[in-house]
A and B are shown apart, each in its own frame.
Chain A
Amino acid sequence: MSYLELKNVDKYYGDVHAIKGVNLTINKGEFIVFVGPSGCGKSTLLRMIAGLEEINDGDLVLDGNEITHQAPSKRDLAMVFQSYALYPHMTVEENMSFALRIKGEDQSVIDQKVAKAAETLNLTPYLKRTPKELSGGQRQRVAIGRAIVRSPKVFLFDEPLSNLDAALRGQTRVEIAELHRDLNATSIYVTHDQVEAMTLADRVVVLQGGVIEQVGTPMELYEAPANKFVAQFIGQPQMNLLSASYFSGISPEAVDVGIRPEHFTIVEAGQGAISGQVELVEALGNETLIHVCLEGAGEKLIVRQYEQPTVKVRDTVSINYDVSHLHQFDVKGEAIR
């Protein structure tokens, strides 16, 4: 059951083709995350859905209604901005009720909705304050509250956590996940942070250069990336890419082979398929990352092991890999299944 549908959506800035014919269907209640590097078009795509950027070509359908060229306010969407965009001279209560007051809603209905949203977000004690008297995290919640009060068909989040410090970001991420579970509202969330993408999303949309590279659940992206870009974008540290010549028994079309760091194991000298010299050992406590420079061509890879380091820098090590977790890519960088 598709709820929000993008059909061949295009965006041009002068000669620049920013969004190149994107097709996407989103189901009701889904939490979709747009992720990609800077300038990939993820924010532009969100703003096009919101109606803040014009859609140059293609169609946008929400709940059976064509909304491609409708004014933002007529689309029944609510957005949480990166800068929160709270109205500085209004109290929290006035901020949250603004849309309803504009619409001419009944005062009792407004009060009730605001009170409910404030309670959900733990903002009740702050209703009479202005945004500048709030902390960053509280402002963030007001911005979300302003969206909730309108009970829109779709929530749009534009990198909402990027202005928060690391600790608060983690906490707010959990709150957003809980909120989504409680409200069960369809949401689209833009971020460049893959941890946010992996933890929040029902489905992740990976974008690059205005094109969707892959759409899938976080685990699908991790375990079966559609191409080299997705393979390297998802996962920290990056998936290792080695030339196919190191491997035997793989597809003849394979040019590169990707292996995640945790699918390598260090074995006794001479026992492994690959050998090289240790360049760097990063002991992080719960895991150890071992950077190895391979003999011959000088290709580098990272091995992750969940135990205390057993090797030292400049040791020569032998490495084995898990055959069931090889990702093979052809000349174009597409995965071979």
Chain B
Amino acid sequence: MPRLLLSPAVITLLIWMVVPLALTIYFSSIFYNLMQPDVTGFAGWMNYEFMITNPAFTDAIWNTLVLLASTVAITVIGGLAIALLINEAFPGRGIVRLLLISPFFVMPTVNALLWKHMMMNPIYGVLAQIWTFFGLTPINWLQDLPLFSVILMISWQWLPFACLILMTSLQSMDREQLEAADMDGANYWQKFRYMYLPHLARPISVVIMIEVIFLLSVFAEIFTTTNGGPGTQSTNLAYLIFNEALQSFDIGVASAGAVFAIILANIVAIFLVRIIGKNLEK
């Protein structure tokens, strides 16, 4: 009986997951190009072969991983530093916290446009102004450092998230423990290493988990700023799949790309569970 009552929810979820997965696998195995409607039929591994032999593919995988790793590193380390910094009471802490958290409420597209036009424009952007002020040649960010620029935008957006989670967790740090460490003669770094870090291990794991889930499929920032370019310098897997499906109109190859994305996500997930899962079990 309990299973029967559960079944509507379980079945809905199953359909939700299985149908798109099945369709993706199905599309990846047939010739399905919107520009060549006459070419149909079973394609075997052809679509996968096209995808893998596409020189953009290895770039896309590499870019996806670089973007993921650097954004997670920047947000966790930066978020930790800021959270520790504003953990002590000071006048105006409430406002500072509010300001710190606000980037997370900005839509990804808006965030990308803000950075593209306001900050990184080589002529009137804020960064260009600063460079000129110091007598330097302004950097054409999106042209010369496309992947780095995207990483910068996404980090700006996700830093507050990491900061927020770690900040709330720091509030629950036991004060007497820190006092005991003081009496034991620990300096700030030793307290950081032996008190704060172990206390924050779990929230840090949560931050990494959630960020990985969202950052594997970054799209809006790339689409609005660099369009994956120049060349493939800022193309990640999500953007490559979009490119195949809605620029080349080859649904079959795009679906094969999607299957690779699923595999990549699973590989990352296995590593995550191995490394981080232990922390969450406690």
Contact = CB atoms under 8 A, between A and B. Distances in A.
Interface string B99-121: 00000000000000000000000
Interface in B184-224: 184-186, 190, 194-195, 198-199, 201
A81 interface: yes
A90 B182 CA distance: 17
Given A83-B176, A85-B174, A98 B182 contact: no
Chain B, interface size category, equals: 10 to 19
Contacts of B144: none
B183 A78 contact: yes
Interface residues of A, number: 25
A79 B183 contact: yes
Contacts of B201: 89
Given A87-B195, A89-B198, A82 B176 contact: yes
A98 B195 CA distance: 11
B177 interface: yes
A99 B177 contact: no
A83 B184 contact: no
A81 B195 CA distance: 16
A99 B183 CA distance: 8
A72 interface: yes
Contacts of B49: none
Contact of A52 (B179, B186, B195): B179
Interface in A65-80: 71-74, 77-79
B198 A103 contact: no
Contacts of A87: 177, 180-181, 194-195, 198
A197 interface: no
Contacts of B182: 51-52, 71-73
Given A87-B195, A89-B198, A98-B194, A73 B185 contact: yes
Nearest to B190: A102
A102 B180 contact: no
Contact of B183 (A72, A82, A89, A103): A72
Identify the 5 closest CB pairs spanning chains A and B, nearest first.
A73-B185, A99-B184, A85-B176, A89-B198, A85-B180
